[in-house]
Amino acid sequence: MSALDTFPLGAATSLAELAQDPHRRLALLREHEPVSWLPELDGWLVTRRDLALGVMRDAATFTVDDPRFSTAQVVGPSMLSLDGAEHARHREPFTAPFRPREVREGFATFIGRETDRLITALEPAGAVELRRAFAGPLAVAVVTEALGLVGTTPDTVLAWYDSIVRAVSDITAGHEAGSAGAAAYAELRAAVEATVAERGTSSLLGSAAGLLAVPEVASNAAVLMFGGIETTEAMITNALLHLLPRPDQLALVRADFDLLDGAIEESLRLEPGAAVVDRYATRDTVLGPATIRRGDLVTVSLTGANRDPAVFPDPDRFDVRRENARLQLAFAHGPHYCLAAHLARLETRIALQGLLERLPGLRLDPDRPTAPHGLVFRKPAALHVLWDR
């Protein structure tokens, strides 16, 4: 019996559907084919949370270290595309600034200042497209500050990020990546080299260069750059998209800003900015109902796992008081858990509180509706909002 016969739901699943509005299809797969073969993906899709955890925890069986890994094709080997001792060697030089205490002490003041500056510029208008006017610039400013890049502007970093993410997305979707991603990475690498030469060990990149070759520093800087921008821009925009149209939930948060943490986790659960992570089987193995062959692509749907009703009752409901929302897997799991997760959470919390406090009656523009979109990275293309002046 062929995979088409064994996994009929997977055979009928298109990448376009998963990019547009995946949740109904993912629920069907999770219930009936929790590990399913998708011909359009040319690989397996894992949608049940326990099976997703098993894949992400077992780097010996399900590795990122494969020539097909999309990010590595654009920026070369990095902590994101290596496993075992090489992964640890690439990751360790960058860990210290992203621990919880160091994040609070090192970034809270800067994030607050940038948030205030951006909101002050927006305040008089009463309307704006918030993704590109606020969420993106804030994320770029924080990443640039964290990396300590010299000779760059936020606009330049944002252009690099756009090109690199587009190239990664094209490769993941099975398309040829254009030249823009490679050109952007070449410019980023030159900026990393200049930063290491000028600032030495006084910068994160310079201290990393004491342990890694400069090309390795550059590839990891690229991962941190587009990961940090993509994650946080998506977190801010998706959280507002979930919170603003729900008056009851918004009222709870406005009455107690401590509930913002729950709102952020719940938004991450419902719509993680990175929808999937890819792994490759290093040996023949059995995963749930599927027999995986060595070399097979195994894609974990973080979006599917995050709505698993076995873990999250009434999984499609947005509830800022959900007690176990932090069990969401938006930052992945295992050895490749997101290095900057604490920074992304802090940045999103400060940003959301600033917007809600300073823009009275903040609401979505009813004449310009939007929704998250994307196969790999999911967020609205634009987020138009209004407020009272």
Q: Provide the mean pLDDT of the chain.
A: 93
Distance, in Å, from the CA atom of 46 to the CA atom of 227, rounded to the nearest integer, reads 22
What is the token pair recorded at 200? Answer: 């030495």
Domain of residue 318, CATH code: 1.10.630.10
Cα distances (Å, whole numbers) of residue 240 to 128, 301, 331, 370: 13, 23, 19, 12
How far is Cα 294 from Cα 200, in angstroms, rounded to an integer?
44
At 236-254, the pLDDT tens digits run 999 999 999 999 999 999 9
Is the pLDDT score of 185 beyond 60? Answer: yes
Phi and psi torsions of 65, nearest 5°: -80, 85
Q: How far apart are CA 131 and CA 153, in angstroms?
A: 18
43 SS3 class: strand
**What's the number of domains the chain is made of?**
1
Query: Does 120 score more than 60 pLDDT?
Result: yes
Backbone angles phi, psi at 194, to 5 degrees: -65, -40
3: Cα separation from own chain's centroid = 31
- Are the beta carbons of 298 and 281 closer than 8 angstroms? yes
DSSP conformation letters of 108-154: HHHHHHHHHHHHHHHGGGSEEEHIIIIIHHHHHHHHHHHHT-SS--H
Is residue 26 very low, low, confident or very high in pLDDT (cuts 50, 70, 90)?
A: very high
Lowest mean pLDDT among 151-165, 286-300, 331-345: 151-165
Domain around 161:
3-386
pTM over cut 0.85 = yes
The predicted pLDDT at position 242 comes to 98
Model confidence over 47-82: pLDDT tens digits?
Answer: 999 999 999 999 999 999 999 888 888 888 999 999
